Structure formats: structure tokens, C-alpha cells
Amino acid sequence: MLFSSAIFLFLFLPFFLIIYYLLPRYWLGIRWTNAFLFGASLLFYAWGEGQVVLVLLLSVCINFLAGWLVEKGQRRTGVLLSLIGSLSLLFYYKYANFLVNLLHGLAENLALSVADKLTLAPIALPIGISFYTFQGISYTLDIYWGRIRANRSFLDYGTYVAMFPHQIAGPIVRYADIAPELTDRSVNLEKFGIGAERFIIGMAKKVLLANTFASVADTIFNAPADSYPTETAWLGIIAYSLQIYFDFSGYSDMAIGLGKMVGFDFKENFNYPYIARSIQDFWRRWHISLSSWFRDYLYIPLGGNRGSKIRTYRNLLIVFAVTGLWHGASWNFIVWGLYHGLWLLVERAGLSKQLERVWPPIAHVYSLLIVLIGWVFFRAEDLTSALVYLQKMVGLGSVSRVAFPLNYFLNTEVCVSLLLGIILVTPVYHHFQVIWNRLLLRAVVLPAQITLNMIYVVVGLVGLFVLSVAYLAADSYNPFIYFRF
Amino acid sequence: MIQIRSRIVAVSFAILLLLPTIDKLVGLSAWIQSTENRQPAPLPSFHFPHVRQFVVWFDQHYKENFGGRNALFYMYSRLKYKVLGQSPLPEKVVVGKEGWFYLGNSYNKVVDQHRGLVPLSDKEASQIAEHLTKRQQELAKQGIKFYVMIAPDSHTIYPEYLPDHLQQSNESSRLDVLKRAMVKTTVPFIDIRDTLLAAKRTHRVYYQTDTHWNDYGTLVGCVALLNRIRQDKPATPSVQQSDYHIKQWAGINGDLTRMLMLQDNVDEKIAYEIRPMHKLTSRETAVVPREKNPLPSHRFAGSGTDRLLFIGDSFSISMMQYLPAYFRESYFVRDGKLDDEAIHTEHPTILVLEIVERNISQLATF
């Protein structure tokens, strides 16, 4: 079930919220609220994934038990159980096919007789497994390092891991960040409103912007390389860069908004990454919950930058190779991760000092260009396609028949979306909020304040929501010329 | 200040979430009907242990039936068309210039075909030609003269109103390639593109808001077909456009605008009312339901000597106004396959296969 689907918005969410808010907390206590949230989250997951919900539950059990073992003094056993148990699940579901195909190819190239036996039927990837695996590991390691105490309630811990707001697309919420709210949290109209506003903005980002960019990027990336010119290749990667940002940050906004509606405060996951002035800066702003996870649970345990330069560089490359691999089981992601890792090395080696001195727009252009080129590896079907696409971007490669000239894509909607997208990757909305709130402060009369608020809500937020839902409705509208029996 | 706003947002959001359910119960937007021309997915029944199947079907059912869906599409359609000047469903319908609409790529990649992105190879064309020759020989053994007629796509006849980025390539079209292959055969292959392009100088021959030719275009097509038949069957009554009284009027919206739910906003600017001035008349004698096909066949009695079996697509509907008058009996079947049963029951002396340009690949399996 996606947040941006009719069944979630108009069936699951309203009925969930009605029951959630009507549960008599004072009589029953937070446990019942958590139990309901846990149960509803499992239903949410099972609705889309079916029996794979058992994998989620197994992961929950493994890490709950691991945390308990660490707390009881069996520290090594607990940590090993968490790491081996969680990562085994992740490895089997996400990387087994990749590894077997790799070995199969290797055996074929070496003409080994075992090549034919090295096959594995495709394994369906449980949605969100990368997120809940990392949450489980962070929980156990935080107990191991004495940062938190283990939760004695399986229900509370299960609620933390499985809660539907962050279940399938993050952010990677750490137990330490929401532990107090698991035992005591408030829900009220005001917080619900703040969450709803955030949710609507996230949905608009996803449905109105990301999906528009996706249709452009998909068309170009799926087209034969000889069917479009250089400028179209650039449009394709710009569209994809905007798509991935608005899609992912939109989903994070929806998750944060839903979290607020049920009384949780998740940390921010994006901070305008495309205004970064270096790749280091980019990774401080992009998918913050993931980059900080790798920093705290991999980079620092490896030694971080406490050793020699060579060791630091090694640690960086390991972290970014794994970061790439975390995104998906393919060489493209590994190359994308290493590519970012290498640029971080270059920056550490001295480029970052130069970037601090140059005119800021130059640093912005540098960062954007590096990130944009990196997205080609991320988006392309395979490494060969990525290299061909990069060649197109620099004007190499032939064009036999221009099926997709630039003007094929540049209709009013795409142009408006591109303009909005480019504006909204900067903190302009944040500045707008500041100005709007000042305007509210100047409106001393209550009716004026209410009028301004009504404009903001009805014209702005309600308008965005209705528009987003209209786009969802259009997605399911499938007319035929003649009656389709 | 922010508190007030958050409370207003909270209440508004709660109402928005509940609105589709309320709409479903009360029917607030029931006045907006779907124009999808299909039954929406029904509410599935739950049969344990088939939980997964139920979930998939229920998802589809809800997506197609949630309250206010049609109203939302109605709004979306107007926003896309009137504000952004684009097609609400670009894969279904292309919005052209000056109020013209064209069928989109979801119908056999018609736009890509027009742009020359889906060429027909010489080998494919030869295979179609061979297959049709085989059919011609089979039918000739039964005393049936076989004709193949291609109804052009509106993209071919009115390319000037297509968006600039969808213009035709200079290379041979699929129909050109097929025509070259058919010339090498003895199968009468009726390509009326040039006839229609000439006719459009004086009259509109296709609808702006519909995928089909209008009544005038139909008449032009019928005249071309009948004249070709007369070359082999001189007893067929002669036909001229001057035999018909043609009156122009402002028409109603067509299938393309209906698909986009824009039927109230876009009207056909030019349509025709055409009446025969000669004494040749025809009458429909039967509507025959068919097995495995929801579209019935139509039988006519007319004035000619031959018996016509006409197998065609939706372009043949309007041809039923004119053609039956020139044959003693006519039988119109909506299909893309040779109907052996119809041959046995109707005993035709002439069989016409009509197919729209975008579907010519289907001739290989006729």
C-alpha cells in the first residue's frame, strides 16, 4: 500500500486515525495504542506484501531477542545474533540472486562445469527490508555501546520497527530518537494539523512533481541511445535528478507528517541537497538518516578518520561501496557509491579547501555536476547503458532517427514542473513560511489572521491535496473508444 | 497564529479524507458519469484461503470506484486541457492544433507509426501480401471476389493539425511499404489516401473530435470502393458524389473528446448530413447477434445484383449508410478475421475486407 494511493488515503488512513484517536488512552494506557498501531502496521504491510510480513516479524524477533541478550550480559552473542540474523535475511532477499549470477558468469568465463548448477530462481524483495534491517541493527548496537536500554516490551519494540509511517521507504528511525514517545506521547489537533500539512506537501511533491519528472526520465532512459540527441540526454538526467529528490523527500515528508499525526517526531531526512557546495556537503543533506547511520555504525567502528590518511580513505571507500550496495544489488549502485566515495577522497585531499575559497556558484555547479553524473549510474539499466548515456551527454554517439527531440517533452506542464522543481530544491519554501508568518503577526485583527490562514489552507494545502488526488484518479482512468466487454 | 492554522489544516484534512466515503454514501458527485466505456472492477467476494487474490482485486476495485473519482478526473481533464493545453491522457488521445484530436499511442502505437518509428519491413509486407493472395485464391474457388480496403488514420489525412513534435517522417510509411508489396499481387488493394486528400480541399473528410472519417469522408471512401468493384463487376450500379445531397451542420463531440470527458466543452465544428437523391435504396433486414462477439452483424437488402460480405472495423459503421444500396444483399460483420460461417450462410459474390491503417499488421492473420 502506497501513501499516494486512494485505498490508503480514503480507506486505511481515515479508519485507522478514527480508531487511533478514539482509543481511551487514559483507561487503557499507551500499550493498547501501541498494540493497535503495531497491528494496523502489520496489516498495512501484509496488504501489499502478503506472507512476506513474516520476514518483517522475524527481523523484529531477532533484534528484540538480540537486544535482550546484550542487556542480560551476553553481549557478543546478542550482537552476533543481530548482525548475522538481520544481515542474513537482507543478504538472502536482496543479494543472493546478484551473487549467484556473479558466480555463474565467473564460472562460465572460466569454462567450469559447475556453471550450469549455479542458478537461483528470482527471489522477491520484501519492501522496506533495507530500512527495517538497519533499524534493528542500530537498536542492538546502541544497547551494546550503552547508549540506550533494551525495551522489555516486544509490543513496543515491534511498534517502533513496524510502524507504517516509516515502514517501507524510511527514514531510518533510530530507537533512541523515539523511545520516549513509545511510552508517552501526546496527540492533539494542533500536532495532527502540523502532520497533515507536512503530509500534503510530501504528497504534492511525489504526485505532482516527481511523477511528472519520472515520465520524462523514464521515456528517455528507456529509449534506444540513437533515438535522441545530446540535449535530450541532459533533460533526461536533470528530470531524473529532480524525480529522485522529490520522490524520496516527498515520501519522507509524508512519513514525518504521518508520524506527527500519531504522536511521533521523526528527524528530518533531507536538507536541500541540491544547494550543496561540495560532495561532503551533499551527503550531509541527502538521505540524512542513511548517511548518519553509516557514519555511526560503519565508518566510526572502522576507525573513521582517526588513523592515517590511507586508512581514512580506505574507510570512506568501504562505506560508500556499501552505501551503493545498500541501494540495490547491481554493479551500477556499487559504482555509484564508489564514484561518490572517490570524490569525497578528492575533496579530503585538498579540493574542499579550494571549494571554500571559490565563488559559491562555482562550488554549487561543481557539486551539481558531480551528483548529476552520478545519477546516470544510479538510473541506467546497467553499466554499459550508463556509459553510453554519459557519451550522449558529451555529444558522442550517433543518432539514426530522432524520435525524441527536446521539444517532444517540453510541454507546458513539464516546463512549469521543471521551473517549480528548480525553485523548490532551494529553501524558497522555508523563506516563504518566514515571510508569511511575519504577515500573520502584522495582521493584528483576528478576522484578518483567520482570513490569511484560510487562504493558506484552502487555496494552498487543500488545493494541493485535491490536485494530487485528481492526478491519482486520472492514473486509474482507462477509457476505450468502444465498450470494452 | 500557527496554532490556528494547524487546527484549520487538521479539520480540513480530516474532511478531505472522509469526503470520498461520504460521496459514495450520499452520491454528491453522482451527476458526473464515467466515459470509460467499460465496467469498473466489481467488488470481489472473499474466499478463504485466496487472500492474496482478494487483496489484488479489492485494490483494483477501490481504485476504480472510490467516491468522487469521476469528479476528480473531470476536474483533472479540464485543468490539463484548458489550463495547460495538453491531453489529459496523452497515450489515449493526442491534442492537436485548432481543436483537432487524434488517437494516441495506446492504440497500436499509431502516433509512432505515423512518425515512422515503427517501420514495416519488406519481409513483413511480403508475408502479408502472400497471406492475402492465399485468401484470395481460397475465396475465388468459392466464386467470391476479394477486395482489401484500407481506411487511413486521421493522422495521415490531417497531419497539419498534429503537434509539431509529432510530424510524419519523410520515409515510406507502413502503408506505402505494404502497397508496394501488394502491387506485385493480383489482390485488389484499395488505398484511398490520395482520394481523401483531394476531397479535403472542398470538404472536411474526418471528424476533429473523433477517430473516424465523417459522413463525407465515408461517402468518398464508398465511391472509391464501388468504382473499383465496378471494374470487375460492371453490373454494379454506377455511383457519383453528385447523386447525394450534402448539407453541412455543426456536429456533436466524438469519441476522442468523450474519452477525455470533454464532451461538454468541445464540439465538432463541421459535420454533414448526406441523403441520396437517386432511387437506389436499401433497408436493414436483420441485426444478427454473434457468438463470442458482442457486436452484432447487420443484413441489408438493396438494388444491385451481387451479394456483399463486408468484414470491417469501426470505419465500416458509417459505410452501412451508402454501400447496401448497390448490392442485392449485404452482410456487415465487425471483425478482423475471415468469417467462414458468414460465407456459408450469406453466399457472397464479393467479400470486402476493410481495416484501418494503424492495424494493417493484422492482415497477416486475416
* Residue A127: predicted pLDDT: 94
**Looking at the structure, do residues B61 and B118 belong to the same domain, yes or no?**
no
What count of other Cβ atoms lies within 10 Å of the Cβ of residue A59? 24
Q: Domain containing B77: what range? A: 1-89
- Closest CA in chain B for residue A9: B17
Task: Provide the 3-class DSSP secondary structure of residue B363.
Answer: helix
Which of B7, B89, B103 minimises the CB distance to A193? B7
- Annotated catalytic residue: which of A104, A166, A287, A327? A327
Cβ <8 Å between A474 and B73: yes
**Looking at the structure, do residues B150 and B257 belong to the same domain, yes or no?**
yes
Q: Tell me the H-state helices in B148-213.
A: 154-157, 174-183, 193-199
Contact with chain B for residue A467, Cβ under 8 A = yes
User: Cβ contacts (< 8 Å) between A232 and chain B: which residues?
Assistant: none
Contact with chain B for residue A400, Cβ under 8 A = no
- CA-wise closest residue to B6 among A257, A254, A178: A257
Structure pTM? 0.93
* Residue A25: predicted pLDDT: 76
For B230, residues 6+ apart whose C-beta sits below 8 A from its C-beta are B236, B238, B239
Cβ <8 Å between B4 and A449: yes
* Residue B48: predicted pLDDT: 87
User: Cβ contacts (< 8 Å) between A192 and chain B: which residues?
Assistant: 6, 10, 13
Section A264-286 average pLDDT: 97
Contact B73, B81 (CB under 8 A): no
Q: Classify residue B314: in a domain, yes or no.
A: yes
**Looking at the structure, do residues B52 and B134 belong to the same domain, yes or no?**
no
**Looking at the structure, do residues B66 and B213 belong to the same domain, yes or no?**
no
Cβ <8 Å between B9 and A193: yes
Cβ <8 Å between A413 and B80: yes
User: Cβ contacts (< 8 Å) between A194 and chain B: which residues?
Assistant: 6, 9
Looking at the predicted structure, is the pLDDT value of residue A354 above 80?
yes
Looking at the predicted structure, is the pLDDT value of residue A207 above 90?
yes
Contact with chain B for residue A20, Cβ under 8 A = no
For residue range A309-347, what is the model confidence (pLDDT) as tens digits? 999 999 999 999 999 999 999 999 999 999 999 999 999
For residue range B149-180, what is the model confidence (pLDDT) as tens digits? 999 999 999 999 999 999 888 889 999 999 99
In order of B156, B223, B254, the CA distances from B206 in angstroms are 11, 16, 11
**Looking at the structure, do residues B41 and B112 belong to the same domain, yes or no?**
no
Looking at the predicted structure, is the pLDDT value of residue B2 above 80?
no
Q: How far is it, in rounded angstroms, from Cα B90 to Cα B345?
A: 43
Looking at the predicted structure, is the pLDDT value of residue A28 above 80?
no
Q: In Å, how far is A196's CA from the nearest CA of chain B?
A: 6
Q: In Å, how far is A447's CA from the nearest CA of chain B?
A: 12
A327 labelled catalytic: yes
**Looking at the structure, do residues B80 and B108 belong to the same domain, yes or no?**
no
**Looking at the structure, do residues B48 and B144 belong to the same domain, yes or no?**
no
For A6, residues 6+ apart whose C-beta sits below 8 A from its C-beta are A469, A472, A473, A476, B20, B62, B63, B66, B69
Split at pLDDT 50, 70, 90, the class of B352 is very high
Give the least confident one: A51-60, A405-414, A439-448, B130-139: A439-448
User: Cβ contacts (< 8 Å) between A460 and chain B: which residues?
Assistant: none
Cβ <8 Å between A457 and B72: no
**Looking at the structure, do residues B274 and B355 belong to the same domain, yes or no?**
yes
Section A374-379 average pLDDT: 98
Q: Classify residue B94: in a domain, yes or no.
A: no
Which of A10, A413, A480 minimises the CB distance to B20? A10
Q: Classify residue B77: in a domain, yes or no.
A: yes
Section A229-252 average pLDDT: 97
| Domain tally, chain B | 2
Q: In Å, how far is B86's CA from the nearest CA of chain A?
A: 8
Contact A267, A291 (CB under 8 A): no
Looking at the predicted structure, is the pLDDT value of residue A17 above 70?
yes
* Residue B281: predicted pLDDT: 85
Q: Classify residue B308: in a domain, yes or no.
A: yes
Looking at the predicted structure, is the pLDDT value of residue A445 above 90?
no
In the predicted model, what is the mean pLDDT of chain B?
94
Out of B35, B60, B89, pick the residue that ends a domain: B89
Which of A196, A405, A477 minimises the CB distance to B9? A196
Q: Classify residue B96: in a domain, yes or no.
A: no
Q: How far is it, in rounded angstroms, from Cα B64 to Cα B76?
A: 15
Split at pLDDT 50, 70, 90, the class of A400 is confident
User: Cβ contacts (< 8 Å) between A454 and chain B: which residues?
Assistant: 8
Cβ <8 Å between A7 and B62: yes
Q: In Å, how far is A195's CA from the nearest CA of chain B?
A: 8
- CA-wise closest residue to A260 among A186, A203, A182: A186
Section A395-415 average pLDDT: 92
How many CB contacts within 8 angstroms connect chain A with chain B?
Answer: 176
* Residue A229: predicted pLDDT: 95
For residue range B102-150, what is the model confidence (pLDDT) as tens digits? 999 999 999 999 999 999 999 999 999 999 999 999 999 999 999 999 9
Q: Classify residue B144: in a domain, yes or no.
A: yes
b/e map of A274-286 (b: 16 or more CB within 10 Å)? bbbbbbbbbbebb
Looking at the predicted structure, is the pLDDT value of residue B20 above 70?
yes
User: Cβ contacts (< 8 Å) between B88 and chain A: which residues?
Assistant: 474
**Looking at the structure, do residues B107 and B51 belong to the same domain, yes or no?**
no
